[in-house]
Structure 1
Amino acid sequence: MNAAIRTIKILKQPTSQAWIDQAIANIDTILLDHSHCEKKAAGNALRLICRYPSHEKLVRQLTALAREELEHFEMVNQILEERGIPLQPLPPPPYGETLISNVRGEEPQRCLDFLLVSALIEARSHERLGLLGQYCPQEKLAKFYRGLMASEARHYGMFWLLAVESFSREEVDRRLDELATVESEILSTLHPQPRVHS
C-alpha cells in the first residue's frame, strides 16, 4: 500500500487507509499522543537499562536512545505550544499493553521479548510517522514528520541488532514472527480514538 512498509521487513501488515484518514482528520490529537509516545519511549529505554545494568552495549545504546527520545518529546511539545494545544493525559490505546502482555516472564526469554516488542513499536512508529509526513496537508508539520523517520528506523534496527547479538538468529526470527503476528492482530481493528498506535 505504501512505500514505507516495503522497507520494514519485521511488520506483518501495513497500516490501513482507515488509520491515515482518522489521523489526518484528528491531527491535533495525534500530536498530543505523539508527545506521550516519545515520553514512553524514553521511559522504556530507562527501564531496560535498570533491568539489565550489566549488559554494557545495551546500557550505552539505550542511554543515547533515551536522550534522543526526550529531544523528540521536547520538539513535539514545542509544536503543541505553537498550536495552542495544552499538555494533558490521553487514555492509551490497547496496543502497547497488549504487546507487553505477551512478554514471557522468565529470563533470558524476557529480555529477548522486550527487545523485540520495542523493535516492533519503533518500526510501526517509523511507518506511521512516514505516513503523516506523506499525507498531512500542513506542509510544516509534514516536513517535521518526514524528518523524524530516519530516527525511528535507527531505533528499531538497534533493538533488533541487540537481540541478534545476544540470541541465536533462529530464535530471534521465530519469536519475532510470533510477536509481529500479535502486533498486526492488535491493529487489525481500528481503535475508535485516534492515536499514533491505534
Structure 2
Amino acid sequence: MNSLTAVVGAESISAEVARIQALKHPTSPAWLELVLAHPNTLLLDHSHCERKAAGVALNLMFRYPSCTELVYALTQIAREELEHFEQVNRLLAERGIPLGPLSAPPYGAKLSGQTRRQEPDRLLDSLLVAGLIEARSHERLGLLAQYCPDPVLSDFYSSLMASEARHYGTYWVLADTYFEREAVKARLEELSEVESQLLTTLHPEPRIHS
C-alpha cells in the first residue's frame, strides 16, 4: 500500500473535496488502493450502484407525483442512470464478467437510515442523502479517472463525472426549491458529517461506496 499512498497523498484528494463543499472529508488513499487492486469487482459494484441510483430517482417520483419540478428533474436523472447502467454492463460483458449479486457495504443503508419518517422532513432528507451519495460518487469517479491504470476504464470513469456533478446539484437545487435555504443548509451540515464518519472505517471489500 505504501507505493500508491505515496503517489496519492491526502492533499491531492482533499483538493477534489474542496470543490464539493458538502463533503466534509476526502476519500482515503487506502480506498483507492483497494479498489484499483480489484477492478473487476469494482466494475460489477458500479453496475449495482447505477441501478440503485436509477431506483432512487424513480422511487422519489412515485412517492411525490404532485411535485412537478421534482418529477421533471428526476426523470432526466433516472434516464441517465439507466444509460450508465447499460454502459457498465456492456463493459462487464466485454470483459467476460457475469452479472451477479454482491454484498452491500453499510454506507448506503446507514446514510439512508438518517432519513426522518415524517413529512416534510422525509422529502428533505431523501433529497439531501441522494445528493451526498452522488457527490461522493463524483469525487471517487474522479480519483478512478485519474489513477486507474486501465485506459479504457479511466476514460469511462472520466466520461461519467459531468453527469454525476449535475445529479448531486439537481438534488440540492430541488431541496432549495421545496424548503427554506437555512433549513437545507443546517440539515445538509448534519448529514454530511454522518456521511464522512461512515467512511472512516474502510470496508474490507472493494466497493464504490465503502
TM-score, shorter chain, exceeding 0.5: yes
Are residues 1:143 and 2:146 paired? Answer: no
Residues 162-188 of structure 1, C-alpha deviations (whole Å, 9 max, x = no match): 001111111101000000000001000
After TM superposition, the structure 1 = structure 2 runs for residues 40-79 of structure 1, keeping only pairs within 5 Å, are: 40-79=52-91
CA RMSD of aligned residues (A): 0.6
Structure 2 counterpart of 1:121: 133
CA distance in 1, matches of 2:51, 2:92: 14
CA distance in 1, matches of 2:44, 2:16: 23
Q: TM-score, normalised by structure 2?
A: 0.93
Structure 1 counterpart of 2:36: 24
CA distance in 2, matches of 1:10, 1:157: 11
- Identity of aligned pairs, percent? 61
CA distance in 1, matches of 2:18, 2:193: 17
1:13 to 25, 32, 36: 25
Unpaired runs of 5+ in structure 2? 1-10
Q: Tell me the matched-pair count.
A: 198
- Is the partner of 1:190 in helix, strand or coil? coil
Residue 4 of structure 1: CA displacement? 2.2
Structure 1 counterpart of 2:166: 154
Residue 195 of structure 1: CA displacement? 0.3
Are residues 1:184 and 2:202 paired? Answer: no
Residues 14-51 of structure 1, C-alpha deviations (whole Å, 9 max, x = no match): 00000000010011111000000000000000000011
CA distance in 2, matches of 1:112, 1:6: 24
- Is the partner of 1:64 in helix, strand or coil? helix
CA distance in 1, matches of 2:63, 2:16: 32
Task: Report runs of 4+ in structure 1 exceeding 3 Å deviation.
Answer: none
